[in-house]
C-alpha cells in the first residue's frame, strides 16, 4: 500500500477556538490566529495577522516597527504544535509541545505591521515524543523567514 492511499484527509480551516484547544498559549504569546489547512502527519498552513497594536512594536523599533525574528520562529513553532497535537490526536489532553532545538534560522525580509504572515510547517521526522519540523513564514508568497526545529511532546509540569 503506498503513502497516497493511507494519507489522512486535509482538515481546515480551523478557527481560533480550535487553535486555543490545541495550544496552551494565550495573549500576549498566542501567535497563531487561524489555521488554513492541516494535512495530518504531513503539514500545516496557518496565519498570524501582524497588528501594530502588539506590544513588542513599541520598542522594536520606535519609528521602524519590525516583528522580532525570535517571535517569527515562535509563531512557526506554535503552528507546528497545532500540527503535532492534531496529527497525534492530543487536543484537550494537556500535553505540551516544547522547543528542543532551532537550526538554520534565516530572516529574509522584515515583517512589519499590517501583513498576514503565512506560516507553513512540515514534519521532517515524527516519533512518539520527539518531532522535527521545517518551517517558512511568508508574506504575499515570498519567504520572510525559515527555520528547522525540533520539539518534544511532554506532560505539563506538576503544580
Q: Which of 25, 42, 60, 95 is catalytic?
A: 60
Q: Judge whether 146 and 104 are in contact, CB under 8 Å.
A: yes
**Contacts with 138 (C-beta within 8 Å, 6 or more apart), sequence order:** 117, 118, 120, 144
**Contacts with 19 (C-beta within 8 Å, 6 or more apart), sequence order:** 30, 32, 33, 34, 35, 46, 82
60 in catalytic set: yes
Q: Peptide bond before 61: cis, by omega within 30 degrees of 0?
A: yes
Residue positions annotated with a catalytic role: 60
Amino acid at each position: 500500500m503506498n503513502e497516497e492511499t493511507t494519507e489522512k484527509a486535509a482538515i481546515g480551516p480551523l478557527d481560533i477556538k480550535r487553535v486555543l484547544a490545541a495550544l496552551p498559549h494565550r495573549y500576549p504569546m498566542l501567535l497563531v490566529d487561524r489555521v488554513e489547512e492541516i494535512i495530518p502527519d504531513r503539514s500545516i498552513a496557518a496565519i498570524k495577522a501582524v497588528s501594530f497594536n502588539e506590544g513588542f512594536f513599541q520598542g522594536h523599533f520606535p519609528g521602524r516597527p519590525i516583528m522580532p525574528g525570535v517571535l517569527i520562529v515562535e509563531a512557526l513553532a506554535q503552528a507546528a504544535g497545532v500540527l503535532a497535537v492534531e496529527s497525534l490526536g492530543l487536543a484537550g489532553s494537556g500535553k505540551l509541545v516544547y522547543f528542543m532545538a532551532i537550526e538554520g534560522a534565516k530572516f529574509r525580509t522584515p515583517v512589519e505591521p499590517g501583513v498576514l504572515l503565512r506560516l507553513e510547517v512540515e514534519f521532517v521526522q515524527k516519533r512518539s515524543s520527539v518531532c522535527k519540523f521545517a518551517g517558512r513564514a511568508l508574506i504575499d508568497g515570498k519567504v520572510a523567514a525559515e527555520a528547522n526545529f525540533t520539539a518534544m511532546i511532554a506532560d505539563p509540569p506538576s503544580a
